[in-house]
Amino acid sequence: MEAISRLGVVGCGLMGSGIAEVAALRGIEVLVAEATPDAVRAGRRRLTASLDRAVERGKITGAERDAARSRLAFTHDLGDMADRQFVIEAVAENPAVKTDVIRTLDKAVADPEAILATNTSSIPIVDLAVATRRPDRVVGLHFFNPVPVQRLVELIPALTTSTETLDRARHLATAQLGKEAILASDQSGFVVNALLIPYLLAAVRMLESGVAAADDIDRGMELGCAHPMGPLRLLDLIGLDTAQAVARSMYEEFKEPLYAAPALLRRMVAAGRLGRKSGRGFYDYAAPGVTA
Ligand code: 3HC
């Protein structure tokens, strides 16, 4: 199968920067788009810092970092995606924003054979596919945070996705990016979030109802079940706003109370306590270990 040599990544937040980093380290030339010049600067800083950390931790050499950096280019104009063979959008988990991005990409990317992938965790892939003129060439490619560490990618064909598109997406994710792929149907939450989100929301309800303190809930799952991090620490990593958005899509899909975001989660998002990215969530990252 033809390898992808010109990849586009739209969005350089937690997920987009991780996808771009992995691709650049594995020899792919990546054009990263953000919405504004300021967001481009922030995204570039995030990527540079992550590559520098990888060198400090002995994961890669300085030469590998420099080679990866030379393969990364940045833009705030989606029109620059014209020559891409494959574009992955990883913008905010908001149906209107994602639809707008995918529609703009469809017009911008010149090659009608080029594939548009979405890193959505919960929005129906088919809704995004039918917003384009290439519904057979739109596919879900769902990565996990932190992308350089987590080995999984979920592959999600929409009802409209062609077999060839699915095969090319699988080839990029596995042979080129080095991930393991699982196949899921286009149902909100796919495999992992369908199981993970109700568990995370249950932990928030447990905290809300006073059964245990945040650190006790987390240590319970870390020490009792060998999870690398407990549910509230994990929510802080994912971002409470992202988790709330995923829960909302899943609730809309299934109308099951177990997917309804608890009041505490909604209030924390309203207060800007989004987790690590805002410096405070269930834990205060200015003073680690202190519960919010
Ligand atoms: N980039 C590259 N490498 C990283 C990294 C990053 N951002 N963060 C951590 N690492 C590496 C470290 O170098 C280290 O490697 P080593 O063991 O070979 O030295 C290893 O990962 C462990 O890192 P640390 O020792 O610094 O920290 P921890 O042992 O506490 O691990 C963690 C941190 C990897 C985040 C681990 O706690 C973990 O895997 N947590 C669970 C994360 C998870 O469940 N993610 C899925 C979220 S759901 C999702 O993303 C879906 C979305 O739709 C909501």
With beta carbons less than 8 A apart as the criterion, state whether 137 and 131 touch.
no
Q: In the predicted model, what is the mean pLDDT of residues 87-113?
A: 96
Prediction ipTM score: 0.92
How far does the centroid of ligand 1 lie from the alpha carbon of residue 226, in Å? 14
pLDDT at residue 23 greater than cutoff 70: yes
Residue 54 sits in the same domain as residue 149? yes
Residue 65 sits in the same domain as residue 199? no
**pLDDT given at position 287:** 64
Q: Residue of the nearest CA to atom 18 in ligand 1?
A: 59
Q: Residue of the nearest CA to atom 11 in ligand 1?
A: 149
Residue 139 sits in the same domain as residue 206? no
Among 13, 9, 29, 18, smallest CA distance to 70 is for: 29
Residue 198 sits in the same domain as residue 105? no
Question: Residue type at 111?
Answer: D
> Token digits for 163?
């077999």
Q: Which helix (H) or strand (E) holds 176?
A: none
Question: What are the CA-CA distances from residue 32 to residues 17, 26, 151, 157, 209 (Å)?
Answer: 8, 16, 22, 24, 43
Residues with active-site annotation:
121, 142, 154, 193
CA distance 253 to 246: 11
Residue 16 sits in the same domain as residue 140? yes
Domain membership of residue 292 (yes or no) is no
Q: Which structural domain, as residue segments, surrounds residue 245? A: 193-282
pLDDT in tens, 213-223: 999 999 999 99
Determine how β-strand 290-291 pairs with β-strand 283-284: antiparallel
Last residue of some domain: 144, 159, 183?
183
> Token digits for 285?
């990252």
Question: Where does residue 17 rank: exposed (0-12), middle (13-18), buried (19+ CB within 10 A)?
Answer: buried
Residue 110 sits in the same domain as residue 165? yes
- The vertex-3 CA angle with 102 and 82, nearest 5°, equals 35
Residue 71 sits in the same domain as residue 173? yes
Residue 96 sits in the same domain as residue 227? no
Domain membership of residue 188 (yes or no) is no
Residue 37 sits in the same domain as residue 140? yes
Mean pLDDT, rounded, of the chain: 96
Domain membership of residue 291 (yes or no) is no
Last residue of some domain: 164, 183, 202?
183
pTM over the 0.90 mark: yes
At a CB cut-off of 8 Å and minimum separation 6, what does 78 contact? 10, 33, 101, 104, 105, 108
Q: Residue of the nearest CA to atom 28 in ligand 1?
A: 228
Q: Count how many domains the chain has.
A: 2
Last residue of some domain: 183, 202, 230?
183
Domain membership of residue 288 (yes or no) is no
pLDDT at residue 111 greater than cutoff 80: yes
**pLDDT given at position 288:** 52
Question: Where does residue 173 rank: exposed (0-12), middle (13-18), buried (19+ CB within 10 A)?
Answer: buried
Residue 50 sits in the same domain as residue 152? yes
Domain membership of residue 287 (yes or no) is no
Instruction: Give residues (CB < 6 A) around ligand 1.
Output: 50, 54, 57, 59, 121, 144-146, 148-150, 193, 196, 228-229, 234, 238, 242, 246
pLDDT at residue 211 greater than cutoff 80: yes
How far does the centroid of ligand 1 lie from the alpha carbon of residue 146, in Å? 6
Domain membership of residue 206 (yes or no) is yes
**pLDDT given at position 292:** 46
